[in-house]
A and B are shown apart, each in its own frame.
Chain A
Amino acid sequence: MPQIFPPNANAFVRWALIGGGLFVGLLAVALPIYARTVNNAVGVPVAQPVDFPHNLHTAQLGIDCRFCHTSVEVAASANVPATETCMGCHSQIRVGDPMLAGVAASWDSGLPLEWNRVHDMADYVYFDHSAHINNGVGCSTCHGRVDQMTEIWKEEPLTMGWCLECHRAPERFVRPRSEVFNMAYVPPADQLTLGAELVATYHIDSDALPQCSTCHR
């Protein structure tokens, strides 16, 4: 049988092994550093086609989150309201205000307002708002004090490590269901005791929560 590999193949394999090893080592060091330091645009306001001040509409006017985000308790997605919801009030209030030009244009044309997404999860994450809301995870736990924001930004990094902080120890974060929409909620001093009780009451399966298939299908 003729020789398949040329004589320099040995050197090639040697260097490939060394290079490959170095590369894997570099990844092992660099990826965790990257994952721990990247801030994922946390705290950076996201420009929107219409300046919507959450603080005015919620804290000052007293409108509940669910007035606009109607599907948050029953669906995976917490919907952004239809233009119709804006016009429910703005057909009468601040009519013709240039600040609302985008809303008026959308209402006239029938084309949806193109809001810029603030929390963009990877498509391989099957996040479900209703599952969190109905099990005592408050809006502000993940979204921060949206009721005080004039512009909207991401309060938390939404990395997998961040999700796991709660999925590995839900008792640290769950609150009574009645407090989920309370944006000013402050966890009590005995959070771990209360949290453990709530985890039991709500039948939160602590063993299943950190499993891959809970979020990745």
Chain B
Amino acid sequence: MRRAAPHHAAIPRSAIRLRFTGLLAIVLLLAGCGRNMVDQANLRPLESSQFFADGAGMRPPLEGTVSRREGAVDPVFLTGQDANGLVTELPVELTLELLQRGQERYDIFCAVCHGHTGAGDGMIVSRGFPAPTSFHDQRLLDASVGYYFGAMTNGFGRMYSYASRVPAEDRWAIAGYIKALQLSQNATLDDVPTDVRLELENSEGRVR
């Protein structure tokens, strides 16, 4: 009979409040459990989102968006054209590093179709892609660096634009490298500096 109603009614208010507070604390602590830190309410690159009709979390830039990085850059550098049309000189300094960068990027993005020497005989061509014109064709030998930059930027024929995949700096490096490829593929031994020529002749001798 210790738990009889009159006794129960005698439990002080403070005790009830304490029990309630304890319960609330437990409930609040439990609410912290879960995997919501693993998948947080923010979007990472390529994550989907129901917020947009197409389900993509990453949004394409609006029409006419100017890149903060490229907005302050000379238009010639971004288009390959000046008031007189296609530029014939690189708008960046021609260095060995630039050409090596161009070679690396060319081998990644261009060689699959254009071939490593630029002859238009890349692996994808052998798989049925229409062959591009060789860079050693007279029309393309005469073409300027601005022409190549423009083709990469805007696409050409069946080739899509590479502007979204290859930044402008790299497109200029590639354009420079294509000109270097044209020189090297159509060079004679007389074009080689004397000191290097000796080396070349010796190595050739070893191969034979």
> Using a CB–CB distance below 8 Å, which chain A residues touch chain B?
2, 4-5, 61-64, 66-67, 70, 75-77, 79-80, 82, 84-85, 87-89, 91-93, 110-112, 114, 117, 122-124
Contact = CB atoms under 8 A, between A and B. Distances in A.
Given A111-B54, A112-B54, A122-B38, A93 B164 contact: no
Contacts of A79: 45-46
B156 interface: no
Given A4-B14, A80-B46, A64 B54 contact: no
Interface in B26-57: 37-40, 42, 44-46, 48, 54-56
Contacts of B123: 61-63
B124 A61 contact: yes
B42 A93 contact: no
Nearest to A109: B54
5 contacts: A5-B15, A61-B124, A91-B158, A93-B128, A112-B56
Nearest to B162: A88
Interface of B: 10, 12, 14-15, 18, 37-40, 42, 44-46, 48, 54-56, 107-109, 112, 123-124, 127-130, 158-160, 164-166
Nearest to A7: B2
A76 B44 CA distance: 10
Contact of B129 (A66, A84, A93, A114): A93
A82 B44 CA distance: 16
* Secondary structure type dominating chain B contacts: loop
A122 B37 contact: yes
B40 A123 contact: yes
A160 B195 CA distance: 55
A4 B15 contact: yes
A171 to B, nearest CB: 27
A70 B165 contact: yes
Contacts of A76: 45
B129 A112 contact: no
A114 B14 contact: no
A22 to B, nearest CB: 18
A112 B109 CA distance: 22
Contacts of A117: 46
A124 B42 CA distance: 11
A88 B130 CA distance: 12
Contacts of B129: 89, 92-93
